Amino acid sequence: MPKPRLDVLCIGNAIVDVIANASDEFLAAQGLTKDSMRLVDANEAKRLYDHMQPAREVSGGCAGNTAAGIAALGARVGFVGQVAPDQLGEFYRHDLRSAGVEFTTPAVDIGVPTARSMILVTPDGHRTMNTFLGAAQQLAVEMLDEEQIRAAGILYLEGYLWDPEIPRYAMVRAIEVAREAGRKVAFSLSDLFCVDRHRDGFTALIDGGRVDILFANEAEILAMGGVPHLETAIAAIAPNVETLVVTRGAAGALAIRGSERADIAAERVREVVDTTGAGDLFAAGFLYGEASGKSLEQSLKLGAICAAEIIQHYGARPEEDLRALAGELVD
Amino acid sequence: MPKPRLDVLCIGNAIVDVIANASDEFLAAQGLTKDSMRLVDANEAKRLYDHMQPAREVSGGCAGNTAAGIAALGARVGFVGQVAPDQLGEFYRHDLRSAGVEFTTPAVDIGVPTARSMILVTPDGHRTMNTFLGAAQQLAVEMLDEEQIRAAGILYLEGYLWDPEIPRYAMVRAIEVAREAGRKVAFSLSDLFCVDRHRDGFTALIDGGRVDILFANEAEILAMGGVPHLETAIAAIAPNVETLVVTRGAAGALAIRGSERADIAAERVREVVDTTGAGDLFAAGFLYGEASGKSLEQSLKLGAICAAEIIQHYGARPEEDLRALAGELVD
């Protein structure tokens, strides 16, 4: 097996975040489920946007955020995702490339704009996402660069890719290519409701042994395990993957690999401004650790440091120097 | 003279800010003059953007920022500016309207996109602006709603409007309409280099008695007065306007109206993150004070409070509750 040219290749929905403050009353009046992500069509996107406060736009998308974090830590990383040839698509490409991420998927003009997620941030820093997938849902198998997939030590995919049909096929193919090349496959369950929507598909992936590293938060692992107790859910899922990583917000995180287990506390933060991207950046830190041969506990610690940085400002791409924050944990 | 329907109507370049961090070394390598605004064409805009770090996008434009600030303080305010029918134009319109600003200027499709300003913020919080005017430079006389101008107690214009030829005519006409209706005209010198570029035009406006309230920072008033001493420059300019307002950054601000003069200190701030919009929001606070019959010193104080809010975060639109910050100074 040749030495990987990239440490990690991330595949996901290429989404620009449109971030606005909102009250809990606004969420209730709009019938939105706090902390969750829902998919909206063009009409609902327009309707909701018309009611939202002034916003800021920042490149996002779970796997894109993870890629930006990995690059900020100094590893070699690529991203695969679909944008349209429009202003948002230009911003998206610029923001990834200037962060040091290899992003070669061409824009496609299929009459729909680049995806955006309208993110409502409540005063407690929690975020509620309303995503119009637009061009992102057109990421086709043909857009994959199989050579690039074979050249990456770890292939990382977000569960959200399972929502639109076309990218789902691309994702399955990408996993196949990676496994045939002897590479590792990492996968995030993305969201509680995403697990609900795609339980069978995710179960087939995991139980079929096609996921080496599985990322989940507490709600997602409980939903996936189908039981109301964390340790029971972990005991049910962990044997089916090489490594299981569970993030628990302010309660820290844990990882299990065979008979090995590590538990860590969350990093202390001054103020939680916007939790968007916490899980994505945790994955970035952990995957950086994995790619550079760190221990399970060190990789978790790297994840916690990156997550702590991202929740202290608006937007899900790092603003502080992650390498400096990680100190001697980076090479 | 009928009671105004709007307290203030702001006319300016409709610009989306594309904000990225940059080092002083980067500014030097690019040959940029720190703290200034320069106009760039489409090619230079692309070239510079390709070299910039990941960015965040927020609606901006001096007069637009001022309008958003006035609305946040609770006054009735409108904005006139030209956007294109594209994604940036949609963001721009949404951000003003949802801030409570009347914005009815239709988008025009003239083959150029909505304006953007690439703003480089150095670690000391200072900003250097590179503006591609795009659609903004097509704000034509025909786009003015003269009824709206007559219905506003104060017409506020930014000096930057003098740069592109077409909006210059629109600005001159708007001033004429406002004066004929017996309304006040407020004007900002915008930028030291803008004064250099348009000294004759600005002199004709001011000496011709067509400006009631003139806003300038220290560098601008020195350039306009053509002398190296602040008090000498003030003495030269003040007699030609009803009210002269001079902002001095951390050194505070002063205003002169006939024989009356007020001097105030700057508000204390925790950390200067990004000085973009400091002057615009100072003007917002001052104009709110003027429109609501405050004293010269109270209006200055309102300006200082708004400016202090804006420099403590990225972007030039208010994020905190300006009414709460202003306390008993607002009605």
Q: Which domains does chain B have, with CATH numbers?
A: 6-324 (3.40.1190.20)
Dist CA A170 CA A190 (whole Å) = 17
Of A52, A58, A94, the CB nearest to B98: A52
What is the token pair recorded at B277? 């919009």
Distances (CA, A) of A176 to A45, A184, A188, B299: 35, 11, 17, 67
Residue A2, pLDDT score = 81
Chain B residue numbers with beta carbons less than 8 Å from the beta carbon of A119 are none
Interface test with A, best of B94, B132, B270 (most A CBs within 10 A): B94
Interface test with A, best of B16, B59, B87, B273 (most A CBs within 10 A): B87
Q: Which residue of A has its CA nearest to B98?
A: A53
User: What distance in Å separates residue B5's CA from the closest CA in chain A?
Assistant: 24
Residue B256, pLDDT score = 98
Interface test with B, best of A15, A21, A47, A91 (most B CBs within 10 A): A91
Of B52, B88, B317, the CB nearest to A54: B317
Chain B residue numbers with beta carbons less than 8 Å from the beta carbon of A113 are 87
Of A51, A57, A86, the CB nearest to B91: A57
Dist CA B156 CA A305 (whole Å) = 47
Longest dimension (CA), chain A: 55
Q: Which residue of A has its CA nearest to B89?
A: A87
Rounded mean pLDDT, A133-144: 96
Asked if the Cβ–Cβ distance from A55 to B86 is below 8 Å, we say no
pLDDT at A275 over 80: yes
Asked if the Cβ–Cβ distance from A317 to B57 is below 8 Å, we say no
In this predicted model, what pLDDT tens digit does every residue of B112-129 receive, in sequence order?
999 999 999 999 999 999
Dist CA A172 CA A224 (whole Å) = 19
Asked if the Cβ–Cβ distance from A49 to B94 is below 8 Å, we say yes
What type of residue is A252? Answer: G
Asked if the Cβ–Cβ distance from B53 to A98 is below 8 Å, we say yes
Chain A residue numbers with beta carbons less than 8 Å from the beta carbon of B49 are 94
User: What distance in Å separates residue B129's CA from the closest CA in chain A?
Assistant: 18
Of A56, A87, A113, the CB nearest to B56: A56
Distances (CA, A) of B190 to A265, B68, B104, B158, B168: 50, 17, 24, 6, 14
Residue A1, pLDDT score = 74
Provide residues of A within 8 Å CB-CB of chain B: 18, 21, 49-59, 68, 86-88, 91, 94-96, 98-99, 113, 315, 317, 319
Q: Tell me which H or E stretch contains A18.
A: strand A15-21
What is the token pair recorded at B263? 């001097």
Asked if the Cβ–Cβ distance from A56 to B57 is below 8 Å, we say yes
pLDDT at B2 over 90: no
**Residues ≥6 apart with Cβ < 8 Å to A301:** A264, A285, A289, A329
pLDDT at A242 over 80: yes
Asked if the Cβ–Cβ distance from B317 to A55 is below 8 Å, we say no
Residue found under tokens 């690529």: A78
pLDDT at B326 over 90: yes
Banded pLDDT at B26 (limits 50, 70, 90): very high
Specify whether the CB–CB gap between A330 and A323 falls below 8 A.
Answer: yes
Establish, for the pair of chains A and B, how many residue pairs have beta carbons separated by less than 8 Å: 61
Asked if the Cβ–Cβ distance from A98 to B68 is below 8 Å, we say no
Residue A144, pLDDT score = 98
Q: Residue A103: which of A213, A12, A2 has the closest Cα?
A: A12
Interface test with A, best of B56, B88, B322 (most A CBs within 10 A): B56
Residue A111, pLDDT score = 92
Residue A145, pLDDT score = 98
pTM across the whole model: 0.94
Q: Which residue of A has its CA nearest to B87?
A: A87
Dist CA B192 CA A183 (whole Å) = 58
User: What distance in Å separates residue A79's CA from the closest CA in chain B?
Assistant: 15
Asked if the Cβ–Cβ distance from B56 to A315 is below 8 Å, we say yes
Asked if the Cβ–Cβ distance from A98 to B317 is below 8 Å, we say no
Banded pLDDT at A160 (limits 50, 70, 90): very high
pLDDT at A331 over 90: no
Dist CA A209 CA A222 (whole Å) = 20
Of A54, A96, A113, the CB nearest to B59: A54
Q: Which residue of A has its CA nearest to B65?
A: A54
Chain B residue numbers with beta carbons less than 8 Å from the beta carbon of A18 are 91
| Residue B180 CB neighbours (<10 A) | 11
Which ranges in B255-295 belong to alpha helices (H)? 278-291
Dist CA B322 CA B309 (whole Å) = 8
Rounded mean pLDDT, B186-207: 95
Rounded mean pLDDT, A141-152: 98
User: What distance in Å separates residue A244's CA from the closest CA in chain B?
Assistant: 32
Provide residues of B within 8 Å CB-CB of chain A: 18, 21, 49-50, 52-59, 68, 86-88, 91, 94-96, 98-99, 113, 315, 317, 319
Specify whether the CB–CB gap between A99 and A317 falls below 8 A.
Answer: yes
Banded pLDDT at B78 (limits 50, 70, 90): very high
- What value of ipTM does the predicted structure carry? 0.92
Asked if the Cβ–Cβ distance from B57 to A53 is below 8 Å, we say no
Residue B1, pLDDT score = 74
Chain A residue numbers with beta carbons less than 8 Å from the beta carbon of B50 are 94, 98
pLDDT at B160 over 90: yes
Q: Which residue of B has its CA nearest to A56?
A: B58
